[in-house]
Structure 1
Amino acid sequence: MTEKLRNEDDLTGVTRLVRLEIANARRALDGMGEDPLLAVHEARKSIKRARSIARLLRESDREVASLVNAAARRAGHVLAEARDADSLEQLARAMVRDCDDDVARPALSELAAQARADRERVDRETAARQAARALDEMDRALAGLPTPDDAPDVVARGMARTYRRAAKRLGKAQSVPDGERLHELRKRAQDWRYQAIALKRAWPDEVARRKSQTDALVDLLGLHHDLSRLARRLDDLADADAAIERVEARCEALAAQALERAEAVFGDRPKKVKKALKSGFQDAG
């Protein structure tokens, strides 16, 4: 669950939220011995949330914010192999269960077996230690991030930047709706989603109006990303054309749904949204 501002917080409480998400990631990693799949999944989510929320403070000190962001990127990156292997196996097995095509099923079954073998080779304990060190770096870098005197303006500009970047990625994905561009849109939409939840107590109407739409958008783009990865892996197998065709057809349908929702969330002019955000957060601060 994304950490949120408390009722008694003003917008300077954003730094506290980042630290809480770092602590959540550490607790998840501590559970690696009990349930490694869940530990990696929960730690990565907390790291992503910490990184997204920290981006709100970029304008308070760009150099320090860059160090915080780089440490968060390293923490997430070392866990990515484990999470990707886990999710690919789960998705491949789900596709096998749901597949009613006798021609496509063998390739999907073979990929599921490969994904399981890949998952079993991942050294999660080493990845967890490396991630924990990166979280320590992030915590130290965060200590150097000054608390802004004009917190409402800094946070509003941070969220406006997130919106602007998402709108830009939307334009590129609309021109060429391939896996890479849709994945970039997903990352920016995810930032917006986490930031909106974190600032729920303070958010202006401009954020609230888009938040529920972003939930569904991120889910659609996440499934599209996983299926795109699955299609690329199928391409390495013999006699996989039927399975690839099946997966790609589902990707096309998901892309169309996602772009329609993304237009509803990120289709306004960024300058208009920035103005509304600055007005709303000044009132909240």
Structure 2
Amino acid sequence: MSDDARATRPPRPAERPLEDGRRYGPEPWREIEGVCFCHWDRWLLRLALTDPRGLDGMARELRARAASRRVSSDGAEAMLAQVADLRGRLARLARTPEEVLDAEERASEWLLKKAFKRVWHAGPNRRTDAMRNTPRRRLEARALRGNWPRLPVSPARFERELRDVAGVDGYYDHRATDLLAFLVENRIGVLLVTAVSDLERMALHRGAMTAVIEMMEQVDDSFARMSEVFRASERAYLDLARAHAGLDGVLRDILELAVWEDYGMICQVEAFLGALPEEHANLAVRELAAIISELRRERLDYQLARAVALRRAVLAPWE
């Protein structure tokens, strides 16, 4: 073809956009037999058509990104949670990605390019419920207070009173953190006077541990004053728990907290586990088996390694 012919050839018409206006992802896209899909689902489904392993291949890549230090693991985990949720809805409908997308969507290069940009480059800035409630966030929240309904006395009341000392807003520099630690210690002392049993004292110290963990986002603990408050309650709690480790929820609660506490403040749980009598050690091993299975299923490797270390601590005296 001559240069003149190329110059006079009409340009290829632009492909018709398949969206009328800006879409951020969580907006509703399609409903099938009462099952709702959003635009994140649409983009994931379109990308799945280009991967030989479909959504499984995309999930594998997202898991690799979540484990990598070069990209945001939070964004990858959020997208992975959306893929898992999408697969569940597809399973309920017994449909494949090809069957949910229409013919125009399956053929659209415009949609493919947009999906590629949104999923692999832009990240989930606007999130669905599934993206916000990732396995990491769900299990971490459960470790803080999710087992409390099972405990003989709930720590919830004590935790609320201690959280009120710091409030939910504001930031404490290292000087103010020293004062805050003093005030929290005083409040714990006052509450101890009102506690009428060992189980209430256990609940108080357990509530203090969660309260301090959540305060760590608000403080500069350069001098480890809040860590000292935490460890004092940890020590008191474990001393009391030795006589009550067989009660429903007690071991599961402290084990999950030890797995998920992320400030390096827990330091006495392994010694506590190593000193358990055989009956309670067997219970701890069963609880850890369930925790390890869940962490392995969700591929939360860092927390999995912690749980395995706790199991070694339980078993060490018996080997």
TM-score where L is the length of structure 1 = 0.32
TM-score where L is the length of structure 2 = 0.29
Larger Rg: 2
Q: Per residue, is there more helix in 1 or in 2? A: 1
Q: Which has the higher contact order (CA 8 A, sep 6+)?
A: 1
